[in-house]
């Protein structure tokens, strides 16, 4: 099941890359069309405009033909703006890619640039296509924004919470965090939502709902191994063997050496010994599994018995 989820995640990433390529192709076509419109500027906007004639008997088609220069001009403005914004986004991503903190800030800046660009382009398009009074539109939009804002407090809370997450450096893209019992890697921090990925699954949290966060990437994590030995074993002998052989165990991902911490518990059928090692949170489960395996091999090689549950039946006759 987990392999299928991982494959699905890879398919999603492949589709996202394909969508990115399609967007670049569309942008390239728009650039070529814009260049052509400047080359034939006089025939589109100048005195030699071919759209001034009214060749159709239907006024509807003639009006559409007359509107083509405005449409082409709108495409020009949109194309130039998109090219500039694309270059700016590439520069921002290139400048903010050294650390997780800078990647997170760069992602937020890119989101803000996209949102502002979309709003500005809509206003410009309305001005070019329909000759809308942008001043009155902006004034009216301000009033509408105020009215809508009163009814969209949750959205505003998400945006404000997202800004505080970034500015207070609570967590960054690439960090492993736990929110409401869900442990995952932060793959995106937007102005409204935060996305966590775990085993191919993406969980989306509204920023305002993220109240308590356990950031497990700020400091090295501790992988713990608990192994029981029989009560009949000489504990001094066991600890002597551990002291002699434990430094020889080397596990990839462990920061430093594996530590023997002593007797963790006197369980019902075993004396439980505790071993620990510092590692990155990304490697904690792999390190724990390898510690279990290697310490168990060490015990077997030195004749230390690891107990298992048994049922003793007494037959009184």
Q: What letter would DSSP give residue 309?
A: -
pLDDT tens digits, 85-102? 989 988 988 888 777 778
pLDDT digits (tens, 9 = 90+) for 114-164: 888 988 898 888 888 888 777 766 666 665 665 556 556 777 888 888 888
- What band does 301 get if pLDDT is binned at 50, 70 and 90? very high
**What pLDDT shows up at residue 51?**
75
pLDDT, tens digit, 9 for 90 and up, residues 98-119: 777 788 888 888 888 888 898 8
The Cα–Cα gap between 136 and 124 comes to 13
Confidence of residue 5 (pLDDT cuts 50, 70, 90): very low
| Res. 1 pLDDT band, cuts 50 70 90 | very low
Would you say residue 292 has pLDDT above 90?
A: yes
Which pLDDT score is estimated for 144? Answer: 62
Q: DSSP string spanning 117-171?
A: HHHHHHHHHHHHHH---HHHHHHHHHHHHHHHHHH-HHHHHHHHHHHHHHHTTS-
pLDDT at 147: 55
Decide if pLDDT at 291 tops 50.
yes
Banded pLDDT at 311 (limits 50, 70, 90): low
Q: What integer pLDDT is reported at residue 10 of this predicted model?
A: 60
**Percent of the chain's residues with pLDDT above 70:** 86
| pLDDT score, position 296 | 94
The set of long-range contacts for 105-111, using a CB threshold of 8 Å and a minimum separation of 24, is 105/166, 107/173, 107/188, 107/189, 107/190, 108/162, 108/163, 108/166, 108/189, 108/190, 108/191, 111/190, 111/191
Average pLDDT value for residue range 265-281: 93
Closest CA to 187 of 178, 176, 179: 176
pLDDT score recorded for residue 47: 74
């Amino acid at each position: 099941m987990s392999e299928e989820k991982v494959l699905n995640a890879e398919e999603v990433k492949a589709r996202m890359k394909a969508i990115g390529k399609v967007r670049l192709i569309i942008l390239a076509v728009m650039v070529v069309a814009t260049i052509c419109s400047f080359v034939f500027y006089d025939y589109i906007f100048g005195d030699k405009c071919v759209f001034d004639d009214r060749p159709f008997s239907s006024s509807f088609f003639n009006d559409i033909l007359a509107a083509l220069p405005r449409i082409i001009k709108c495409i020009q403005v949109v194309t130039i703006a998109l090219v500039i914004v694309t270059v700016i986004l590439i520069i921002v991503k290139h400048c903010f890619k050294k650390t997780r903190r800078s990647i997170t800030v760069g992602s937020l800046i890119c989101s803000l640039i996209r949102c502002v660009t979309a709003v500005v382009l809509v206003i410009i398009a309305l001005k070019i296509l329909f000759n809308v009074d942008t001043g009155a539109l902006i004034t009216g939009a301000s009033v509408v924004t105020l009215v809508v804002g009163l009814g969209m407090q949750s959205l505003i809370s998400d945006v404000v919470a997202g800004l505080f997450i970034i500015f207070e450096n609570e967590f960054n893209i690439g960090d492993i965090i736990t929110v409401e019992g869900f442990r995952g890697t932060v793959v995106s921090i937007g102005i409204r939502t935060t996305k966590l990925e775990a085993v191919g699954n993406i969980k989306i949290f509204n920023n305002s709902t993220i109240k308590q966060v356990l950031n497990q990437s700020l400091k090295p994590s501790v992988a713990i191994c608990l192994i029981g030995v029989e009560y009949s074993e000489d504990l001094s002998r066991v600890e002597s063997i551990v002291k002699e052989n434990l430094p020889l165990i080397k596990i990839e991902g462990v920061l430093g050496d594996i530590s023997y911490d002593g007797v963790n518990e006197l369980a019902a059928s075993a004396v439980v010994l505790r071993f620990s090692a510092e590692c990155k949170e990304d490697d904690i489960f792999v390190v724990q599994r390898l510690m279990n395996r290697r310490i168990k091999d060490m015990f077997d090689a030195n004749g230390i018995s690891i107990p298992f549950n048994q049922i003793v039946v007494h037959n009184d006759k």
